Amino acid sequence: MSNAKTRDAPADVDHTSWSALQTYAQCPQKYFYRYLERAPEERAPAALLFGTAFHTATERLHEARLLGRGLPSAEALTAIYEGAWGEQARARPQIVYGPSEGPLSLSDQARRMLAAYRQHLERPECCAREVLGIEEEARFRLLPDAPPIHARLDLIEREGDTLLLTDLKTARAAWNESKLREQVSQLVIYVEGLAPWARTLGVREVRARFVVLTKARQPRVQVLETPVGAPETARLKEQVQATWTAIRARAFPRREGWPCTSCPFRVRCLGR
The pLDDT score that the predictor gives to residue 183 is 93
pLDDT tens sequence across 170-203: 999 999 999 999 999 999 999 999 988 888 888 9
Looking at domain 44-238, its CATH architecture is Alpha-Beta Complex (3.90)
Cα distances (angstroms) measured from residue 196 to each of 49, 140, 199, 200: 33, 10, 5, 7
The tally of CA atoms less than 13 A away on the side-chain side of residue 29 is 21
More confident residue, 161 or 5: 161
Spans of all domains in the chain: 44-238
What sign does the dihedral 104-108-110-114 (CA atoms) show? Answer: positive
Q: Extract the runs of DSSP E, i.e. beta strands, from 97-199.
A: 130-140, 149-159, 162-171
The pLDDT score that the predictor gives to residue 67 is 96
Q: Of 9-23, 34-48, 108-122, 133-147, where does mean pLDDT reach its minimum?
A: 9-23
Whether residue 7 contacts residue 235, with contact meaning beta carbons closer than 8 Å, is answered with no
φ, ψ dihedrals at 174, nearest 5°: -60, 145
Give me the residues paired with residue 254 across strands: none
φ, ψ dihedrals at 102, nearest 5°: -170, 170
How far is the C-alpha of 195 from the C-alpha of 131, rounded, in Å? 17
How far is the C-alpha of 48 from the C-alpha of 95, rounded, in Å? 10
Task: Give me the amino acid identity at 18.
Answer: W
Task: Give me the amino acid identity at 19.
Answer: S
pTM of the predicted structure, to 2 decimals: 0.91
What is the three-class DSSP state of 222? Answer: strand
The packing angle between helices 177-201 and 230-248, to 10°, is 100
The pLDDT score that the predictor gives to residue 7 is 45
Chain centroid to Cα 99, Å, comes to: 23
Q: Cβ contacts of residue 27 below 8 Å, gap of 6+?
A: 254, 255, 259, 263
pLDDT tens sequence across 80-90: 999 999 999 99
Whether residue 143 contacts residue 186, with contact meaning beta carbons closer than 8 Å, is answered with no
How far is the C-alpha of 79 from the C-alpha of 247, rounded, in Å? 42
Q: Cβ contacts of residue 13 below 8 Å, gap of 6+?
A: 35, 36, 147, 247
Q: Residue 42's closest CA among 263, 254, 258?
A: 263
Output b/e per residue, 134-148; b: 16+ Cβ within 10 A: bebebeeebeeebbb
Whether residue 139 contacts residue 189, with contact meaning beta carbons closer than 8 Å, is answered with no
pLDDT tens sequence across 118-155: 999 999 999 999 999 999 999 999 999 999 999 999 99
Q: Residue 140's closest CA among 151, 153, 126?
A: 151
